[in-house]
């Protein structure tokens, strides 16, 4: 079975409501459904909000899933939007920001590693590559998407968020991305409960949503 077969009909629009400036939330793990809906609900009265669930994003499926994701956005007549990528769903919006940067106004990444669902071996390889001079990757032939190699090209304002439940690995990955991306800020959520955390994230996303698209780089307190 090809990656195209795996991803067929695997991008599902769960909700599309409101009007005005578009805001898209995408995730690939059903455990993030409540979080995604809470974030969308926080801004539903101020913008058009679209919640999208993807099939699991992997090294084999991400290309075809990304293509289908873009097709869904085109069908929804999205010319420009602010995006929230949760978990490995961030891979789809990061790829979109690289391929068609005019579509992505701002980007919020939540609990995502630099590579979608990395294996233990991939984590080891990535850790070694991170210490090598730029341009000397160990796996030129890898089909997997690793945003580290392209982070310097992500020009849209980005908010990098880790929850209280995120691992040290995820927190480290987001901090590393913040060091490379030209206009990015890292913040860790303070709320411990899932419901409170979803509300905190919704408020944070809403504030960042109002940040000027060409906001100069500064710390997160000033940015939001």
What is the total count of domains within the chain?
Answer: 1
Contacts 24+ apart (CB under 8 A), 57-60: 57/28, 57/88, 57/89, 57/91, 57/92, 57/116, 57/117, 58/116, 58/117, 58/144, 59/115, 59/116, 59/142, 59/143, 59/144, 59/145, 60/3, 60/6, 60/143
| CATH value at residue 127 | 3.40.50.1820
Q: Which helix (DSSP H) or strand (DSSP E) does residue 221 occupy?
A: helix 220-223
Which carries the bigger pLDDT value, residue 126 or residue 212? Answer: 126
Q: Report residue 65's pLDDT band, with 50, 70 and 90 as the boundaries.
A: very high
What distance in Å separates the CA atoms of residue 55 and residue 116, rounded to the nearest whole number?
12
What distance in Å separates the CA atoms of residue 62 and residue 142, rounded to the nearest whole number?
13
Range of the domain at 187: 3-223
Cβ 47 vs Cβ 16: under 8 Å = no
The sign one gets for the Cα dihedral 103, 24, 29, 172 is positive
pLDDT single digits (tens) 162-180? 988 888 989 988 998 888 8
pTM: 0.82
What distance in Å separates the CA atoms of residue 49 and residue 33, rounded to the nearest whole number?
14
Cβ 205 vs Cβ 42: under 8 Å = yes
């Amino acid at each position: 079975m090809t990656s195209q077969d795996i991803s067929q009909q695997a991008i599902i629009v769960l909700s599309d409501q409101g009007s005005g400036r578009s805001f898209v939330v995408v995730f690939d793990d059903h455990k993030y459904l409540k979080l995604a809906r809470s974030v969308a609900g926080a801004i539903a009265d101020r913008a058009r909000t679209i919640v999208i669930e993807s099939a699991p994003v992997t090294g084999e499926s991400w290309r075809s899933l990304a293509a289908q994701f873009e097709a869904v956005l085109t069908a929804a007549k999205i010319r420009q939007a602010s995006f929230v990528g949760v978990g490995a769903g961030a891979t789809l919006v990061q790829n979109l920001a690289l391929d068609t940067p005019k579509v992505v106004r701002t980007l919020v990444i939540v609990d995502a590693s630099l590579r979608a669902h990395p294996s233990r071996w991939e984590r080891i390889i990535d850790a070694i590559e991170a210490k090598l001079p730029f341009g000397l990757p160990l796996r030129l032939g890898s089909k997997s998407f690793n945003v580290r190699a392209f982070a310097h090209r992500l020009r849209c304002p980005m908010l990098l968020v880790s929850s209280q439940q995120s691992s040290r690995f995820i927190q480290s990955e987001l901090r590393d991305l913040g060091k490379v991306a030209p206009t990015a800020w890292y913040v860790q959520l303070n709320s411990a409960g899932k419901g409170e955390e979803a509300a905190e994230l919704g408020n944070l996303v809403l504030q960042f949503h109002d940040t000027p698209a060409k906001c100069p780089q500064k710390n997160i307190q000033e940015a939001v």
